[in-house]
């Protein structure tokens, strides 16, 4: 399907032309038909050979109804611009053209209507000249009369050619359906209509309301009054939705693919138009079918920051416009450059930001966006409308290479500094490292470790490149006494009373382990470094498998030491449980003269 906005004319001539083209009545209200004036959005369609279905969004032309007009034309990529031969170019024609130009609409057909009432040549020349100066450029023109039928076939041919020039829609894109009408149907509940510009909607889909993120479910679909199980862009679509909050959907809302959009209340934009450099401070932003008051802060000659009164689901490269409702004029067209702009807190920050934005002339540069942010989630970049430039460094996180290198250097310094300032602590905790670097996720610290060979990671703590920390003299003396005891009986770990006598608290024992002076195998149980390997060698000489009691006797120790020592060997892969009571040694070569233990 193709969707075309019908704009430009204020009175009944535009409606008569659509009736003649489609055989349908675009004016939905009796008041519109009585006054011969379109007051609200109308929708009709037809099928043309070589083009398929074409739907028309009939927008009002009166200056007091431009808000309604903008709600209908905002999401539509093409226009049928109607000017009456007997009235010529009118003020509403000029304002509608300004709207289309601000929105960057590039595809259209000019219809000079009511040519049975006046010679169309003068109006055609004037209209073509004005339109050529806009984003539409040179457009085909057809003189037509809905009364006599003159030119209708030529107009259908021109519309068919128009559809061939339209870009192919992305039906796999994330859905953002701007609501231009919402109503209740007895027995079915809430129905909303809109122009689906990209993506696909399917019965059963769950969508989120942009205003507050509340979920709704697609209960039913219609397109051109026909029930559908699925509708892909571009299409006029009516969606029957259900869910908490669906009953108060209204024009200007949007239904979104869940978790794929960001709601922005502050955006940086590029301005287009003659008055772009001299904007009032208070304007209205029209995006899709939404109209939101904004405060304008100029940044450079053609850039500004907009603060929105209500957040909208916008992406980089979105096209919208600013309107001055008091003066009834389009103030500027805009292109969204950033939906998560940096704060401007220092003197000169606005000028620096303008310089940054000056380089954003083409499509969104993923590498530049990552470079400016340093770290950003891949999903957030996609939600901004920016293609990620590389694979994540950890989890969903993308990192600028230079920033990543700097983080690695800072982490190494932070670990070494922590070891100097806290010599009794067994390394720097991961969480402390995360906070020291200001990182949003611990997985980033872990990823930095893999990229920095000078750091070690053990049991949630980091050890640096300056070797093991030195123990204070008093602690070193106490540890030496423990080592002397263990030298005589290597598996007779000092008991709590002996450790208390020497003043070795759990914290000091952890510091001794970090310094490589002792091996902690359990709470309050310490042996000499290398005792685990020595124990494994002794146990390998036993008949395999063996019991804990057999291990205790072979090691000449107590149950208080044997049980945590065996559990330590299990954790480090030197022994393995056979069942609840038996273990066997896993690895080492068998002692000379014995068979190798079963490696299982």
- Domain residue limits, the chain: 2-165, 176-256, 263-362, 376-469, 491-585
In this predicted structure, what is the pLDDT of residue 301? 87
Q: Measure the CA–CA gap between 498 and 485, rounded to whole angstroms.
A: 10
Fold entry, domain 2-165: Rossmann fold (3.40.50)
In this predicted structure, what is the pLDDT of residue 596? 37
Q: Measure the CA–CA gap between 416 and 436, rounded to whole angstroms.
A: 12
Is residue 322 within 8 Å of residue 270, measured between CB atoms?
no
Beta bridge partners of 52: 48
Q: Measure the CA–CA gap between 45 and 25, rounded to whole angstroms.
A: 10
Please say whether the dihedral angle defined by the alpha carbons of residues 511, 513, 518 and 519, taken in this order, is positive or negative.
positive
Predicted TM-score (pTM) of the model is: 0.74
Superfamily grouping for domain 176-256:
Translation factors (2.40.30.10)
Angle between helix 473-488 and 506-514 (nearest 10): 80
Residue 341 DSSP symbol: P
Is residue 179 within 8 Å of residue 166, measured between CB atoms?
no
Name the residue with tokens 């939404």: 290
Angle between helix 531-540 and 559-571 (nearest 10): 90
Name the residue with tokens 């007997």: 86
* CA neighbor of 413 nearest in space, from 397, 395, 428: 428
* CA neighbor of 82 nearest in space, from 115, 55, 106: 115
Q: Counting Cβ atoms within 10 Å, is residue 245 exposed (0-12), middle (13-18) or buried (19+)?
A: middle
Q: Domain 491-585: which CATH class?
A: mainly alpha
Fold match between domain 176-256 and domain 263-362: yes
Beta bridge partners of 220: 240
Q: Is 263-362 a domain of CATH 3.40.50.620?
A: no
SS3 95: helix
Gyration radius of the chain's alpha carbons? 37
Is residue 69 within 8 Å of residue 58, measured between CB atoms?
no
Q: Count the neighbouring beta carbons within 10 Å of the beta carbon of residue 49.
A: 8
Name the residue with tokens 């809430």: 190
Three-state helix/strand/coil letters over 504-524: CCHHHHHHHHHCCCCEEEECC
In this predicted structure, what is the pLDDT of residue 41? 79
Is residue 12 within 8 Å of residue 114, measured between CB atoms?
no
Is residue 536 within 8 Å of residue 575, measured between CB atoms?
yes
In this predicted structure, what is the pLDDT of residue 597? 36
Is residue 357 within 8 Å of residue 376, measured between CB atoms?
no
Backbone angles phi, psi at 353, to 5 degrees: -65, -40
Q: Count the neighbouring beta carbons within 10 Å of the beta carbon of residue 14.
A: 32
Name the residue with tokens 């079915």: 188
In this predicted structure, what is the pLDDT of residue 513? 79
Cis peptide leading into residue 181 (ω within 30°)? no
In this predicted structure, what is the pLDDT of residue 296? 95
Q: Measure the CA–CA gap between 304 and 276, rounded to whole angstroms.
A: 9
Q: Counting Cβ atoms within 10 Å, is residue 425 exposed (0-12), middle (13-18) or buried (19+)?
A: middle
Going residue by residue through the chain, which has 600 residues, state the pLDDT in tens, using 9 for 90 and above.
677 777 766 555 778 888 888 888 776 655 545 555 555 678 889 999 988 999 888 887 555 556 677 777 777 889 999 999 999 998 888 888 988 998 899 999 999 999 999 999 999 999 999 999 999 999 999 999 999 999 999 999 999 999 998 988 999 999 999 998 899 988 888 999 999 999 999 999 999 999 989 999 999 999 999 999 999 989 999 999 998 878 889 999 999 999 999 999 999 999 988 766 688 999 999 999 899 999 999 998 889 999 999 999 999 999 999 998 878 788 899 999 999 998 888 888 888 888 888 877 666 788 988 988 899 999 999 999 898 999 999 999 999 999 999 999 999 888 888 877 776 666 788 899 899 999 999 999 989 988 777 787 766 778 775 555 667 788 888 889 999 989 989 999 999 998 998 988 888 888 787 777 889 888 889 999 999 999 999 999 999 999 999 999 999 999 999 999 999 999 888 999 988 789 999 864 444 434 433 333
């Amino acid at each position: 399907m193709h969707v075309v906005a019908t704009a430009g004319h204020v009175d009944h001539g535009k409606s008569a032309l659509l009736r003649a083209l489609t055989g349908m009545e675009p004016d939905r209200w009796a008041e519109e038909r009585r006054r011969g004036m379109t007051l609200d959005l109308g929708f009709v369609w037809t099928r043309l050979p070589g083009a398929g279905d074409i739907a028309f969004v009939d927008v009002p032309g009166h200056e007091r109804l431009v808000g309604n007009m903008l709600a209908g034309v905002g999401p539509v990529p093409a226009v049928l611009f109607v000017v009456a031969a007997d009235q010529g170019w009118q003020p509403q024609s000029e304002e509608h053209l300004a709207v289309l130009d601000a929105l960057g609409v590039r595809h259209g057909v000019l219809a000079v209507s009511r040519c049975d009432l006046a010679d169309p040549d003068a109006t055609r020349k004037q209209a073509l000249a004005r339109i050529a100066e806009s984003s539409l450029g040179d457009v085909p023109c057809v003189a037509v009369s809905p009364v006599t039928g003159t030119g209708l076939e030529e107009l259908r041919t021109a519309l068919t050619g128009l559809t061939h020039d339209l870009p192919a829609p992305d039906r796999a894109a994330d859905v953002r359906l701007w609501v231009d009408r919402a109503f209740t149907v007895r027995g079915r509940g809430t129905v909303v209509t809109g122009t689906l510009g990209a993506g696909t909607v399917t019965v059963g889909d769950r969508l989120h309301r942009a205003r507050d993120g509340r979920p709704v479910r697609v209960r039913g679909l219609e397109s051109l009054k026909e029930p559908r199980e699925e509708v892909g862009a571009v299409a006029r679509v009516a969606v029957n939705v259900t869910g908490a909050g669906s009953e108060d959907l209204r024009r200007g809302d949007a239904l979104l693919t869940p978790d794929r959009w960001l709601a922005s209340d502050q955006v940086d934009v590029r301005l287009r138009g003659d008055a772009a450099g001299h904007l009032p401070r208070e304007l209205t932003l029209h995006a899709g079918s939404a109209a939101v008051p904004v405060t304008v802060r100029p940044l450079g000659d053609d850039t500004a920051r907009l603060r929105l009164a209500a957040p909208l689901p916008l992406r980089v490269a979105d096209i919208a416009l600013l309107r001055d409702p008091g003066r009834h004029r389009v103030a500027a067209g805009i292109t969204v450059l950033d939906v998560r702009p940096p704060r401007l807190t220092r003197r000169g920050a606005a000028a620096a930001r303008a310089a940054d934005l000056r380089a954003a002339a083409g499509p969104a540069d993923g590498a530049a966006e990552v470079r400016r942010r340093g770290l950003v989630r891949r999903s957030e970049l996609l939600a901004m409308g920016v293609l990620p430039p590389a694979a994540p460094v950890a989890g969903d996180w993308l990192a600028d290479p230079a920033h990543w290198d700097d983080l690695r250097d800072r982490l190494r310094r932070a670990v070494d500094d922590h070891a100097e300032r806290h010599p009794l602590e067994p390394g720097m905790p991961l969480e402390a490292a995360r906070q020291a670097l200001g990182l949003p996720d611990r997985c980033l610290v872990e990823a930095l470790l893999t990229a920095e060979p000078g750091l070690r990671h053990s049991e949630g703590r980091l050890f640096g490149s300056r070797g093991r920390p030195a123990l204070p003299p008093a602690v070193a003396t106490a540890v030496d006494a423990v080592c002397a005891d263990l030298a005589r009986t290597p598996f007779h770990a000092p008991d709590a009373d002996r450790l208390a006598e020497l003043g070795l608290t759990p914290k000091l024992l952890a510091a001794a382990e970090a310094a490589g002076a002792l091996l902690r195998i359990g709470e309050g149980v310490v042996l000499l470094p290398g005792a685990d390997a020595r124990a494994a060698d002794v146990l390998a000489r036993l008949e395999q498998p063996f019991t804990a009691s057999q291990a205790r006797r072979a090691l000449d120790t107590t149950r208080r030491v044997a049980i945590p020592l065996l559990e330590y060997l299990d954790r480090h892969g030197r022994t393995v449980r056979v069942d609840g009571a038996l273990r066997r040694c896993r690895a080492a070569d068998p002692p000379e003269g014995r068979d190798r233990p079963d490696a299982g």
